[in-house]
Structure 1
Amino acid sequence: MSKEKYEIIKFNASTYDKHFIRHFNENKNGEKIGEIHSIYSRTINFLDKKKSMYTIGSKNIDNSPFTLRIDSEDINFEDLNLKEGNLLFKVDNNLVIDNKVEINISPKSLLWNPALYGRKDLDKGIITNNIDYFNNLILSNGSYGGCKYFYLKNYLKEKNHKPTLIEKELARRIEILLDTLNYKVIDKDKINSLIGFGVGLTPSGDDFLTGFLSTFNIISTDYTTKIKEKLTDLIDINKISTTDVSKQMLLITLKGEAREYVLNFINSFLDGNKDRFLFSFKNLLNIGSSSGTDLAIGVVTAFNLSINNFNMEEWKL
């Protein structure tokens, strides 16, 4: 996009979530609402005065907590001559970034309000069939470099892929975590060894835990509730050593929320519609280089664990 320096680039807000619009509305006209933390091709992240992170994204990313999406799909935010530390202001119904970018939030902008509730209508047969369907799909889909090796090794007994040292270590740490759950002893150090491990903006260990915990936020059984509560208690968000973006992702998960593609994939697992399952699976895999694959494997690992303990009415940690 070629623009003169003096010309303000204008967009309209397409969707936003409750956290983003609440923060925008709480600020007075002309007041600073944040400072740019990081800029990527499809997203801009900014921090408010409390250091909470918010995201402005292009229309071709999915909805997410603390996020506003603009009405343009072909925008590259890295081309807008913005820098880390640039300030964002509220000017009437507009979000203005460094007097270079203006985003209008109008009545036509839509509130993304996901249905977040625990589902107890669990059909073991449907879940088992979808696990089998996923197992067939993951063989030829998804990215290596993260959790895929762990899943192929432990659930499909595949040995054709030669793993890197990072893949081997990641698999070992996930296996230790699952072993502690199977023996009903959850070790804080074993959980935290996953956090921040791996490469990328959101390390693979964080993506796995996000998918894993997000599933337990949705499916509601005695077993899953106890695991979720214990895991949540043991993860100290303020002491996590990982990227700022990944910390925000985990914080959202611990609050019981998730991005749109993760929610859709989890809910499709509970239904018998194969087209919907495949659509949500492909959408999820499009996140990042390996993040979508790692998220998906976290989700399916949680379903595998739940199926193996499906009839447990009482489960003591």
Structure 2
Amino acid sequence: MMLSLTKGYLCPTTSFNGKVHSVFRRSMNIKTDLVDTPWVSLLDTRLSATPTAYQCDFESIGALTNKINVGDTLFMRGGMIRLKSTLNLEINTLTAIQWQQAPALLTINHYRIKNNVGMTEALLGKYISSKKQLTINSAAEYIQHLGLTLPNCIYIHSDKLAKNIGHGKGLTPSGDDFLIGVLAVLSSLKTVHPQAETLFNHIKTAIQLDINKTNEISAHYLTLALFHHFSHPVQWLIHDLFTATDASTLNHRVMANLNIGASSGADTLAGILYCLNNVLLN
């Protein structure tokens, strides 16, 4: 038996039947028969916590791809997930601790956010320049490198951002990760910025019309974002962009995001910086 160490706040507590949708070395995605939670993930503790994922120490049992196949059936009863595969995996989710969400934003200190955005852009540029052998000095330059579509004014043509759905390669395309970053900022700003909720809803409507242009996994994370649900690293980075007063705290949060996936963290961070620059700082 394996113990689940953490769980997302949207993880199901009721019984379900499901099948493995996709499997990777240290994670798998599951399609369930639940209406409210049609998608659940099992992730290694070294991967980023999400609202619909249980985390376990999968590193201790080796590569999941050698033991689990797409289409393998499983079920959860009484908090126990049992996977019918060569691994015969049994996971106790009752042991999982729910990870803490970032608190709501109460005020905006424009000087602080401008300073933190500047430091974050420098870290993004340094990371991309080192990883891709490119000279990137700002989020705008990185977004241009990705070939993403931006409106002339986010307040007038925010729906054009949805043209980025499915743009780019990977498990979650760059355009989708960028949109999640934008939505995460607007979601955080809704209580303190009068136009944030209106912008969020305009972008949400446009994304819902075209969400079938991306793959199932990415569509799942986009759908969560449309209802104000984001991963642990994204929530806490945005919180610290508004509140951090020391470089070390911010550096820790930024690097935690940049290290997500092959480029997902950088692409999401580009969306966060784009939104902050164009909604608050310009």
SS class of match (1:37): strand
SS class of match (2:147): helix
Give, as a single letter, the amino acid of the residue that structure 1 aligns with 2:101: P
SS class of match (2:195): helix
Larger radius of gyration: 1
SS class of match (2:251): helix
Q: Does 1:125 align with 2:98?
A: no
Q: CA deviation at 1:134?
A: 1.7
Give, as a single letter, the amino acid of the residue that structure 2 aligns with 1:26: T
SS class of match (1:235): helix
Aligned to 1:232: 204
Q: CA deviation at 1:288?
A: 0.8
The TM-score with structure 1 as length reference comes to 0.78
Aligned to 2:227: 255
Give the total of aligned pairs.
Answer: 272
Identity of aligned residues (%): 21
Residues 162-181 of structure 1 aligned to structure 2 (within 5 Å): 167=145, 169-170=147-148, 173=149, 175=150, 177=151, 179-181=152-154
The runs of 4+ residues in structure 1 deviating greater than 2 Å are: 71-80, 90-93, 142-146, 148-155, 167-170, 237-240, 306-309
Q: Does 1:68 align with 2:54?
A: yes
Aligned to 2:3: 12
User: Which of the numbers 15, 25, 32 marks the counterpart of 1:41?
Assistant: 25
Give, as a single letter, the amino acid of the residue that structure 2 aligns with 1:235: I
Give, as a single letter, the amino acid of the residue that structure 1 aligns with 2:14: E
SS class of match (1:305): helix
Q: Deviations over 1:178-236 (max 9, x none)?
A: x1425x2344xx23320000010000000000011101111230122221122122221
User: Which of the numbers 214, 233, 238 marks the counterpart of 1:266?
Assistant: 238
In structure 2, the gaps of 5 or more residues are none
SS class of match (2:164): coil
Q: Deviations over 1:68-101 (max 9, x none)?
A: 0013445544344211111112244421111511
SS class of match (2:213): coil
Residues 18-33 of structure 1 aligned to structure 2 (within 5 Å): 18-20=9-11, 23=12, 25-27=13-15, 33=17
8 A Cα contact 2:162 2:207, kept in partner: yes
The TM-score with structure 2 as length reference comes to 0.87
Structure 1 pair 63–169 and aligned structure 2 pair: CA distance change class (3 A): closer
Aligned to 1:196: 166
SS class of match (1:84): coil
